[in-house]
Amino acid sequence: MTVRSYLFSFQTILLAIAIMLRITFTRLSLFLLIPLSTSFGQDVDSMGRSLVNQYLVSTNGDERENIIKALDGLQFNFTQLKDWVNGSAHYTSQQPGLHRELVSVGDKKGEYFVYVPSSYRIDRAWPVVLALHGVGGSGYGQIMTWLKSSAHNDEFIFITPTYGSGLWWNEEAERLVLSVFDKVKQDYHIDTNRVYLTGFSSGGHGVWYFALRYPSLFAAINPIAAECLLPYFLVNLEHVPVYIIHGTRDSVIPVEAARDASSRLEKLNYTVVYKELSEQKHQFPVNEIAKVLDWFRMHKRTLYPKRIKFSTESTGYSFSYWIEITGFSELIGQVSGVSRDIAGRLVRPQGFSETATVVAEIKEEDNEVCLTTHEVNSVRLFLDEDLIDMERPLRVSINGKEVYCEKVRRSVQTTLDTVKKRNDQEALFSVCLDLCVPSD
């Protein structure tokens, strides 16, 4: 065996040990960064997968930096990298049926319920229905309501968190829902392109709230007997179909609230179905479950929309699909949540002063991204071949002024960091551009 062969074997052993023990690669980097011969294709693939897996679970910055260096020493393309990312999640078998689970939310524990289909297998991705209960309800009560109907055909994973007051539009409730969603994505093989959000009464208020704040998470939403908390942000739902159900005789949440939201969406030419039940009071419409689930089945998340409209009044909500607002004007208040007036009606948040807005459109024929902004100082674009032509120079204009014109460069770290941050193996981006909004 030649010296080169010994070096290669020794390098492989060291890499395997480092991965198994999850230690930093600082002392091993001299060996790990030796470029590999292309004749060892199978070894490159297995090593690449191992490195990607390690990066996505690592919490150590130095370790991640050395993993990127090791990946740079391999010979692979971004199609392979995406395959490694898609295969990076590892799930354990789960017992079918109903489960009560707990999740950490700060220094507290939050409760949620999960229904696992009887035919659940970890080798396929499953659609998810995330349902929010109303005031006085619970996750258990909400999940049992949906399971009463056989229309689900035992093909959905149902998730129902419990939040005592049922007022989902405050920061604590928001952390609970997001924590539950992240935990479920870790524990179950869910299809992140088929996540459906529904809720009754104040749970329906929560549906509007989460969809307007995080539109890129959901394939479709179904608010029932609810009021849209932030109607001035309905513009964010261009790629999120909406199925509204409300009873005409509802004396708790007047039907005018649903009519108003439906009318606004129709004027925007967005996808909306409005179902008004003539004899329905403020009750959950069990007989409508089959129709809602059939409608859910028709929709998948728009993963890479070529046009985005996003508005926010808070620096805490800055991301939509492939656009992130990284700098706000001083007029944008740092508020969150929704207030009520003395009569209990939902009102414009306190401190609401201005709205930050970004409209972004990709013109494929010109390989150009055009942005129009308001009260925004800087933005970050996440791009990939599904959005632009990587082989041609990319032009970016903001408010009519060209701010970028050159060929973009892919980055392994960008791909892995976006997956790690979003906990979503489907939303893959290999280019990250930070751009300043030009002054007038």
pLDDT value, residue 348: 53
Quick one: what percent of the chain has pLDDT higher than 70?
Answer: 86
What is the per-residue pLDDT for 1? 47
Q: Which of 349, 369, 44 is nearest to 169 (CA)?
A: 349
Residue 331, pLDDT score:
82
Cα gap 35→381, rounded to integer Å: 32
Tens of pLDDT, residue by residue over 99-154, are 999 999 988 999 999 999 999 999 999 999 999 999 999 999 999 999 998 899 99
**What token pair was written down for 357?**
């807005």
Superfamily of 97-297 according to CATH: Alpha/Beta hydrolase fold, catalytic domain (3.40.50.1820)
Answer yes or no: is pLDDT of 21 > 50.
no
Domain boundaries, the chain: 3-76, 97-297, 307-436
For the cut 60, the answer to whether the pLDDT of residue 61 exceeds it is yes
Query: Does the pLDDT at position 353 exceed 80?
Result: no
- What is the arithmetic mean of pLDDT over 223-228? 97
Lowest-confidence pick of 227-241, 331-345, 360-374, 378-392:
331-345
State the pLDDT at residue 75. Answer: 86
pLDDT at 341: 53
- Name 200's bridge partners: 224
**Per-residue model confidence (pLDDT) at position 349:** 53
Q: Is residue 55 over pLDDT 70? A: yes
Q: What is the pLDDT of residues 149-187, one digit of tens each?
A: 889 999 999 999 999 888 999 899 999 999 999 999 999
More confident of the two residues 11 and 328: 328
pLDDT of 333 > 50? The answer is yes
In the predicted model, is pLDDT for residue 259 greater than 60?
Answer: yes
pTM score, two decimals? 0.87
Predicted local confidence at residue 40, as pLDDT: 47
Q: Quick one: average pLDDT of 50-65?
A: 93
Residue 28 has pLDDT above 90, yes or no: no
Res 242 pLDDT > 70: yes
pLDDT for the residue numbered 31: 40
Mean per-residue pLDDT of the chain: 88
For residue 92, is pLDDT > 70?
A: yes
Above 90 in pLDDT, residue 287?
yes
pLDDT at 224 over 80: yes
